[in-house]
Amino acid sequence: MTMISVDKNLENLTLAFTAEFSATPEQVWQLWADPRLFEKWWGPPEYPATVVDHEFRPGGRVRYYMTGPEGEKYHGRSQIVALDPPQSLEFTDGFLDDDGNEVDEMPSMANRVEIAEIDRGTRMVITTTFPSLEAMEQLIEMGAQEGMQLALGQIDDLLASMT
């Protein structure tokens, strides 16, 4: 099992996911850097992602959509703030409409990913910081926590197929 822990901190408005993998930090980094690999794990299995744009550089933007079981599309974007390969990346994540415009009614979240070598392979910690308690509760109610746990659960098989 890749998931080690989920830490929900209402005081700090954070949701942190810790996962460990039998892979190198460079391989785990590629899950973010390679758009075809990113598509294979970002989002729960029943909502596969399709990357539209992948400008993986500070100031760049990654646009994607997830397709639901009935064919509905949920658009999103990540604005890359900082990259330090293969140790860390920072991005803001938000929702887009079908035309690629920001959905003002939905909050944008700040994310930090830390990737570190450990004795057994690599530990990845994804920490999401919400703009308010209401935004945090709204997104958790929408399934953000379960969705990320399911998404991370797909990584072991993907890493195994890379070796």
Task: Give residue-wise pLDDT tens across range 125-150.
Answer: 999 999 999 999 999 999 999 999 99
Is the domain covering 43-118 a CATH 2.40.50.700 domain? no
Q: What is the mean pLDDT of the chain?
A: 95
Q: For residue 104, name the pLDDT band (cuts at 50, 70, 90).
A: confident
Predicted local distance difference test score (pLDDT) of residue 2? 77
pLDDT tens readout for residues 8-49: 999 999 999 999 999 999 999 999 999 999 999 998 999 999
Burial 95-115 (b: 16+ CB within 10 A, else e): bbeeeeeeeeebbbbbbbbbb
Helix (H, G, I), strand (E, B) or coil at 14: strand
> How many other CB atoms are found less than 10 A from the CB of residue 157?
12
83-110: average pLDDT: 95
Tokens 């996911």 sit on residue: 17
Paired tokens of 133? 């308690």
Whole-number Å distance between alpha carbons of 116 and 123: 5
Q: For residue 65, name the pLDDT band (cuts at 50, 70, 90).
A: very high
Q: Residue 69: pLDDT above 90?
A: yes
Sign of the alpha-carbon dihedral angle for 89, 23, 44, 66: positive
Q: For residue 1, name the pLDDT band (cuts at 50, 70, 90).
A: very low
Rounded to two decimals, the pTM is 0.94
CB 73 within 8 A of CB 98: yes
> How many other CB atoms are found less than 10 A from the CB of residue 49?
20
